[in-house]
Amino acid sequence: MIKQTWRFDGLDGVEDLDALRRDIEDRMAALLADSDKADLLTHAMRAGTLGAGKRMRPLLLMLVARDLGCDSPALVDVGCAVEMVHAASLILDDMPCMDDARLRRGKPAIHVAYGEDIAILASVALLSRAFCILSAAEDIPPAVRTRLVCALGETVGTQGLVRGQFLDLHGGARSAAEIAETNELKTGVLLGAAVDMAAIVAEADERTARSLRAFALAAGQAFQIRDDFQDGPGNDSAVTGKDTGKDAGKATFVNTLGVEEARRRLLAHLVEAERHLDAAVGARQGTRQFVRSLFGQALPAARAGDAARPSRAQADGIAAARA
């Protein structure tokens, strides 16, 4: 267990965020190195989890907790568990029977590199590992660990990631409200779990927890729309790190409502996310500046301007931002 407390006063010092990301990377590598068999399954689990990534979910969890005044050394393990669930979901999403993607984070998808059978087993093993990590996390009372396991478990199944992928594959023509529901399940619920778990470890009150959940769901909608823009024509897989054009024919906001309305909704979700974050953490800057960094200048511009009609420069910045 890493026994360390970080000093993090916002994103003015990029080194602080980089150090936090390195701690997450190092801890995940250690947590996935406990097998004495260097076989294909172990390699696939590590490749699916330790490949290049911004670690948005564990960083968000740790920054929210710190904005709530919590610096428990167990937060890094809790964040790693969330990231392993995310990695497992990506491995399955990329399968030929799902999104049929061949590129992930600039490298061959796990099923391409290791085979479909190994990919499925690696995903299941990562899910199992994530819950074992939570159940054994030090510096957290048993009752709190139980709540963490429950929060993450509720995110995975038919009420969360699994349902979101099912709707994305089999939803057919959908209304804007139905697209928003799919986006919430595909992206928002795991962000919501990250902030829920931060609030649980920090022992936040119910009002704060509700505001954080609303923040995460709004941010999740924005992230999914941003990903829809990344998937569109003119984007380069060498830049995005994943296949483009996979959403052709799918019911997304961009495809259903058009580019301008999708941009307007993305900006409106960012404004909503900031409003709920204000209610949860007040003037503390760690989480706020991190979210802003993921979207470039879109969020600060939204607060100062008109969310209903973003400028062309703002819209271009939104479409280009990458997590």
Give the per-residue pLDDT at 249.
Answer: 57
Third-level CATH fold of 14-320: Farnesyl Diphosphate Synthase (1.10.600)
Q: Which residues make Cβ contacts (< 8 Å) with residue 188, sequence separation at least 6?
A: 216, 217, 219, 220, 221, 224
Report pLDDT digits (tens) over 230-289.
775 554 555 445 555 555 556 687 888 888 888 888 899 999 999 999 999 998 989 998
| Residue 104, SS3 per DSSP | strand
Whether 3 has a pLDDT exceeding 50, the answer reads no
> pLDDT value at position 115?
97
Distance CA 131, CA 133 (A): 5
Percentage of the chain surpassing pLDDT 70?
Answer: 79
Extents of the domains making up the chain? 14-320
Mean pLDDT of 20-24: 92
**pTM, 2 dp:** 0.80
The string of pLDDT tens digits covering residues 175-194 is 888 888 887 887 789 999 99
Higher pLDDT, 59 or 243: 59
**Amino acid found at 96:** P
**Picking from 117-126, 170-179, 194-203, which range would have the lowest pLDDT averaged per residue?**
170-179
